[in-house]
C-alpha cells in the first residue's frame, strides 16, 4: 500500500462539538482505566463525521484524550484508507472499481467523475464535490455503484450508467432530491431485474431431466497391487 500523508494545509486547532464531546466521554467509560486507546478508531471516525476529514490537530486532541502517544494515533489514521487525510467535497463520491463493477461499467463511470468533478482527489471550486476510486463496497449484485458520503451520512447509488450518474451529480449540485439505492426502474432493492428466472421450470428440480448413470463413479473395486 502506498504511504499516506496528511494534507500540507492544516487548521490551527480542533475541538469537539458539545454533542460529540459528551459522546466521547461516554465511550471512554466503556473501557477499564489504561485501556482507553481502544477508542481510537471510533474517535477518528466521529471526528471525520464532524469535520469531513482527519486533521493533525484532531489526531493530537484524540491522543491527549486517550492518553496515548500521538504517533500511535497517526499510525492508525494513515493506515486505514477510510480516514480522509485531506478535506473532501460536501459530496464525497467513492467509486467502486473492483471486478464486478468494472465488468458492469465502472470505467465509464470514472470518466463521468473526471468530466464533472475533475481528477481523482480534486475538490471542485465550489467545494461541493470530490471523488476517489475505492475497493469493493459490497453491493456487487447491483453493480456498478458508488457511495456518496456527506456529514449527514453515507448512501449507496446502484445500477448506474454514465447518463444516470451525470444526472445524479447534476441534481446534487442544484440541491435537488435524488433517489437513494438502485437506479434501475424495474428493480426493488437487490431483487432480480424483471421476473424471477431461477428454477421456474419444474423439470429443473423434479428429476425428469436427470439422466441415469451408466456407472457410479469410483464404484469399481480396485485390483490389489501386483496382480
Annotated binding site: 96, 101, 136, 140
Cα 5–Cα 130–Cα 102 angle in degrees, nearest 5: 95
Residue ranges of the binding site for [2Fe-2S] cluster: 96, 101, 136, 140
Burial annotation 74-88 (CB, 10 A radius, 16+ → b, else e):
bebbbeeeebbbbbb
CB atoms within 10 A of CB 199: 8
CA distance 131 to 147: 10
| Residue 75: strand, helix, or coil | helix
| Residue 147: strand, helix, or coil | strand
- What is the pairing mode between strands 181-182 and 129-134? unpaired
Largest distance between two CA atoms of the chain? 88
Whether the CB-CB separation of 164 and 183 falls below 8 Å is answered with: yes
Return the C-alpha cell found at 181.
Answer: 439505492
The closest of 130, 106, 134 to 119, measured between CA atoms, is 130
Amino acid at each position: 500500500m502506498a504511504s499516506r500523508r496528511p494534507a500540507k494545509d492544516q487548521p490551527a486547532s480542533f475541538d469537539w462539538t458539545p454533542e460529540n464531546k459528551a459522546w466521547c466521554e461516554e465511550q471512554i467509560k466503556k473501557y477499564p482505566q489504561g485501556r482507553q486507546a481502544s477508542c481510537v478508531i471510533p474517535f477518528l471516525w466521529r471526528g471525520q463525521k464532524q469535520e469531513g476529514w482527519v486533521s493533525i490537530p484532531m489526531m493530537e486532541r484524540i491522543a491527549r484524550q486517550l492518553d496515548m502517544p500521538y504517533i500511535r494515533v497517526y499510525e492508525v489514521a494513515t493506515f486505514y484508507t477510510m480516514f480522509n487525510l485531506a478535506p473532501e467535497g460536501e459530496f464525497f463520491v467513492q467509486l467502486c472499481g473492483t471486478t464486478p463493477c468494472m465488468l458492469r461499467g465502472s470505467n465509464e463511470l470514472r470518466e463521468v467523475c473526471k468530466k464533472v468533478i475533475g481528477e481523482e482527489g480534486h475538490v471542485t471550486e465550489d467545494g461541493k464535490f470530490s471523488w476517489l476510486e475505492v475497493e469493493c463496497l459490497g453491493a456487487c449484485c447491483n453493480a456498478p455503484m458508488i457511495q456518496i458520503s456527506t456529514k449527514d451520512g453515507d448512501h449507496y447509488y446502484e445500477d448506474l450508467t454514465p447518463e444516470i450518474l451525470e444526472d445524479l451529480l447534476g441534481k446534487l449540485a442544484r440541491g435537488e432530491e435524488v433517489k437513494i439505492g438502485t437506479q434501475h426502474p424495474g428493480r426493488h432493492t437487490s431483487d432480480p431485474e424483471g421476473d424471477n428466472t431461477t428454477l421456474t421450470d419444474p423439470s429443473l428440480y423434479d428429476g425428469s431431466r436427470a439422466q441415469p448413470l451408466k456407472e457410479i463413479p469410483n464404484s469399481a473395486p480396485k485390483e490389489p497391487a501386483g496382480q
